[in-house]
Amino acid sequence: MPATEMTTEAMADARRNMEICNGCRYCEGFCAVFPAMQRRREFSGADLDHLANLCHGCQGCFHACQYAPPHPWGINVPQAFAVVRAESYAAHAWPKPMGQVFARNGTLVSLLTAIAVTLVLALAGILQSGDVMLATHTGPGAFFAVIPYGVMVWTASAAFLYALLALAMATASYWRASGGKARPIHIARAIHDAMTLKNLGGGGDGCNYPGEGFSHVRRWLHHAMAYGFLLCFAATSVATIFHHGLGWIAPYSPISLPVLLGTIGGILMLIGTTGLLWLKVLADPAPLARAVLGGEYAMLILLASVAKTGLLLLLLRATPLMGWLLALHLGFVLALFLALPYSKFVHGLFRTAALIRDHGER
């Protein structure tokens, strides 16, 4: 039976929520979910996956709902959709058996981090003598004096390509199952909505997060984290061109393009992840789904660790701490790549696919 035709307990609950909401329709102007719901009379597994991935958990409908707990109907759309979303990530994971790790996402990310950091530290320790790890290295090739170029590039490239392949396969599987149709105009509009986080703006006042009041804080922190991540990726790409295209060997000057991009990106990522972690601590727990919280915390902590160790490495690269900081930073980066296809990161791709389908339906 296709994944989207299965009915799980979470889907049954989400369907019950949608059937009541479809009779009520009080929240129709809140987000893209309610107009999409109103186009349907029945909710198949694929429909519920689609609606769940359109929802960004702003909690607006929960705080507005007269049927929310303690009302006996217990309507809680953000909570029901958070679980269905996580199930959709698991159902389309590649390779298939890895879907099971979504159920233990927090544990998995922590474990991967520990394994990757230990591996890179051990590799650094085995390949190099203690003297090399604790010496001060400066000038072109300083990083490769600690971790040989081949080890650094091949390990990171293999992990990155695996993450890309797994994410592409999962998104393609989700898109096929959703039955959506894509025209260039729908793709352009969906990318615009995703890049501006349009739906996190609510009706203009922001969303009800972390509490009942309206706020844009989550939207701006999410922007800081996502664009910080993209800037760090751009920094690595520019450094690769410098190395292979121009023969310029790292480390680069503090005012060079890769260092500037990486510094701004790292600071933004650190602000975004730390702020989002703080908002999660403050958030009203009633509309949250406990089952998925562990994974979300773990991914934010991992992203913050990548940013923090990267910035520390930049600050202390001309000191004897550089060797161990480099090993630590690469360990976190490796863990991040390996965990990406089985983490909350998937939501960016699935939500964009849901937005494309939504624009097509409109």
61, 79, 102: which is closest to 341 by C-alpha?
Answer: 102
For residue 27, give the nearest of 62, 79, 78 by alpha carbon.
62
Single out the residue of 53, 59, 110, 171 in contact with ligand SF4 (rule: CB under 6 A).
59
CA–CA distance, 91 with 102 (Å, rounded to integer): 10
SS3 percent helix, strand, coil of the chain, rounded to 5, is 70, 0, 25
Q: DSSP class of residue 292?
A: H
Of 48, 58, 91, 163, which lies in the binding site for ligand SF4, with binding defined by CB under 6 A?
A: 58
Per-position x/- string for 324-343, each x denoting binding to ligand SF4 as judged by CB under 6 A, each - no binding: --------------------
Residue 56 found at the interface with ligand SF4 (CB under 6 A)? yes
Which alpha helices (H) appear in 241-339, and where do they start and end? 257-282, 290-315, 322-339
Q: Which stretch binds ligand SF4 (CB under 6 A): 72-80, 100-108, 149-157, 214-222?
A: 72-80
Assess 265 for contact with ligand SF4 (CB under 6 A): no
Q: Residue 16 and residue 209: Cα distance in Å, rounded?
A: 24
Of 101, 85, 104, 72, give the one whose Cα is nearest residue 11: 85
Question: Can you name the residues that pair with 215 across neighbouring β-strands?
Answer: 207
Q: List the one residue from 3, 10, 60, 313 that touches ligand SF4 (CB under 6 A).
A: 60
- Quick one: angle between helices 290-315 and 322-339, nearest 10? 150
CB closer to ligand SF4, 69 vs 106: 69
Q: What does DSSP assign to residue 72?
A: T
75 binds ligand SF4 (CB under 6 A): yes
Between 346-361 and 149-178, two packed helices, what is the crossing angle to 10 degrees? 30
The answer to whether residues 239 and 250 touch, using CB atoms and an 8 Å cutoff, is yes
Q: Does 57 bind ligand SF4 (CB under 6 A)?
A: yes
Q: Which is nearer to ligand SF4, 27 or 187 (CB)?
A: 27
Single out the segment in contact with ligand SF4 by CB under 6 A; choices: 64-72, 93-101, 115-123, 218-226.
64-72
Q: What mask, x for binding ligand SF4 by CB under 6 A, covers residues 1 to 40?
A: -------------------xx--xxxx--xx-x-------
CB of 300 to ligand SF4, least distance (A): 19
Nearer Cβ to ligand SF4, position 33 or 268? 33
| Min dist. Cβ of residue 347 to ligand SF4 (A) | 12
Retrieve residue 59's tokens.
Answer: 């909690």
Please report whether residue 64 would count as binding ligand SF4 according to CB under 6 A. Answer: yes
Q: Shortest distance, CB of residue 194 to ligand SF4, whole angstroms?
A: 14
Is position 209 an interface residue for ligand SF4 (rule: CB under 6 A)? no
# binding residues, ligand SF4 (CB under 6 A): 23
The answer to the question of residue 214 lying near ligand SF4 (CB under 6 A) is no
Q: Which is nearer to ligand SF4, 84 or 231 (CB)?
A: 84
Given the complex with ligand SF4, which of 59 and 274 has the nearer CB atom? 59
10 Å Cβ neighbour count for 314? Answer: 16
Q: Exposed/middle/buried for 93, CB within 10 Å: 0-12, 13-18, 19+?
A: buried
Which residues in this chain contact ligand SF4 in the complex, by CB under 6 A? Answer: 20-21, 24-27, 30-31, 33, 55-61, 64-67, 75, 77-78
